[in-house]
């Protein structure tokens, strides 16, 4: 998902807008407790979750991929990952048409799960790369998608579909020198953002051909989550990381504003395809949520009954769907 850039003066000491006003009660507001923990088919940690055209999927340690059935139960569809070697998957992403669920993780593992045919394709170790992929993002429909895989030292591995259905791979360097921990691209676009463990955020308008640093100045934490507010014409970009802080980049004047602060690391920030629901996952069972793009009060926090870190979120797109958050020890929480 996008870049340009709001509204407050930057404090010289911090590089972000002052904490008064925007945070207000939003940082302490607690939403109504309506989340419930559901039975999971795995005790391994789940690091990715997405809605597809065939329901919700999640993935994680040991190469497990699970899905939510029409009967509201979760079942395992892949036990040991694309290579069958039980390598941990460090995230998941879905194509714009929601037909393919992509995963990537340790030892250069990359998988493409066709939710229509229940077929898993192995694309592991492209260009001979056997190191871990920390994050994954996808832009485009199945068969015409680009895959973006975050690596250590600031590199992004980019896969582009060829006319014969194969994938051409290239390495692109953001120049950060730090692990690329989150990736987000606009629908069907070459415009997107990555965030790093070094506290920087980079923007590309040409599908990773080049990168520009857009913040965050004087950052004191790495950012494990990045999200563009509207998946087609972004007005804001959010990043989250250590200390529970969420920062918003206003895409007209390149100013970062804190919109929420807490005490637990934020591992994931997500929106549904309509850009109407915003959901985040954090440490010690924290769930972050925002009503819609016009909600100026910022993100609110729900403290769930689990003490497990929550690592990924999948907001509902339709009235028949539920909001989903997953995390350590196979935790699945729904609303």
Q: Which residues contact 197 (CB under 8 A, 6 or more apart)?
A: 178, 179, 181, 222, 223, 224
pLDDT tier for residue 251 given thresholds of 50, 70 and 90: low
Residue 4, in any domain of the structure:
no
Convert the pLDDT of each residue in 130-168 to its tens digit: 999 999 999 999 999 999 999 998 999 999 999 998 999
CA distance 51 to 94: 8
How many domains does the chain contain in total? Answer: 1
Q: What is the pLDDT of residue 220?
A: 84
Q: For residue 54, is pLDDT > 50? A: yes
Residue 138, in any domain of the structure:
yes
Kindly state the tokens that stand for 146: 């680009």
CATH number, residue 222: 2.130.10.10
For 157, the domain range is 36-334
Residue 298, in any domain of the structure:
yes
The pTM of the full predicted model, rounded to 2 decimals, is: 0.89
For the chain, the average pLDDT equals: 87
Kindly state the tokens that stand for 206: 């040409």
Q: For residue 133, what is the DSSP state?
A: P
Residue 14, in any domain of the structure:
no
Residue 16, in any domain of the structure:
no
Residue 5, in any domain of the structure:
no
Q: Residue for token digits 């995390």? A: 327
CA distance 181 to 41: 27
Nearest one of 135, 5, 11, 113 to 54, comparing CA atoms: 113
Residue 173, in any domain of the structure:
yes
Q: What is the pLDDT of residue 273?
A: 74
Respond yes or no on whether the N-terminal peptide bond of residue 216 is cis (omega within 30° of 0): yes
CA distances from 121 to 84, 100, 141, 266, 309 (A): 11, 10, 16, 31, 30
Q: For residue 25, is pLDDT > 90? A: no
Residue 23 class from Cβ within 10 Å (0-12 exposed, 13-18 middle, 19+ buried)?
A: buried
Residue 68, in any domain of the structure:
yes
Give the chain's end-to-end CA distance (angstroms, integer). 26
Q: For residue 259, is pLDDT > 90? A: no
Q: For residue 11, is pLDDT > 70? A: no
More confident residue, 285 or 275: 285
């Amino acid at each position: 998902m996008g870049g340009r850039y709001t509204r407050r003066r930057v404090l010289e000491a911090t590089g972000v807008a002052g904490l008064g006003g925007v945070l207000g009660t939003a940082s302490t507001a607690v939403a109504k407790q309506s989340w419930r923990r559901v039975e999971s088919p795995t005790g391994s940690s789940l690091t990715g979750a997405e809605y597809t055209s065939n329901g919700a999927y999640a993935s994680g340690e040991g190469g497990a991929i699970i899905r939510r059935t029409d009967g509201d139960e979760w079942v395992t569809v892949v036990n040991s990952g694309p290579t069958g070697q039980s390598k941990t998957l460090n995230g998941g992403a879905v194509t714009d048409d929601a037909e393919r669920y992509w995963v990537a993780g340790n030892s250069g593992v990359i998988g493409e799960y066709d939710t229509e045919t229940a077929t898993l394709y192995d694309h592991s170790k492209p260009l001979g790369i056997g190191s871990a992929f920390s994050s994954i993002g996808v832009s485009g429909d199945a068969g015409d998608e680009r895959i973006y895989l975050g690596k250590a030292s600031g590199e992004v591995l980019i896969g582009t579909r060829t006319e014969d259905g194969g994938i051409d791979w290239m390495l692109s360097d953001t120049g950060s020198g730090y692990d690329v921990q989150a990736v987000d691209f606009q629908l069907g676009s070459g415009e997107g953002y990555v965030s790093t463990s070094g506290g920087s955020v980079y923007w590309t308008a040409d599908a990773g051909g080049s990168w520009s640093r857009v913040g965050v100045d004087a950052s004191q934490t790495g950012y494990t989550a990045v999200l563009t507010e509207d998946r087609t014409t972004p007005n804001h970009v959010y990043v989250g990381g250590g200390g529970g802080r969420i920062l918003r980049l206003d895409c007209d004047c390149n100013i970062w504003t804190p919109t929420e602060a807490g005490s637990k690391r934020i591992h994931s920030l997500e929106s549904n395809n309509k850009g109407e629901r915003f959901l985040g996952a954090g440490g010690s069972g924290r769930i972050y949520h925002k009503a819609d793009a016009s909600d100026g009060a910022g993100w609110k926090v729900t403290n769930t009954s689990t003490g497990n870190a929550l690592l990924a979120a999948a907001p509902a797109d339709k009235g028949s769907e539920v909001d989903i958050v997953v995390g350590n020890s196979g935790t699945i929480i729904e609303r």
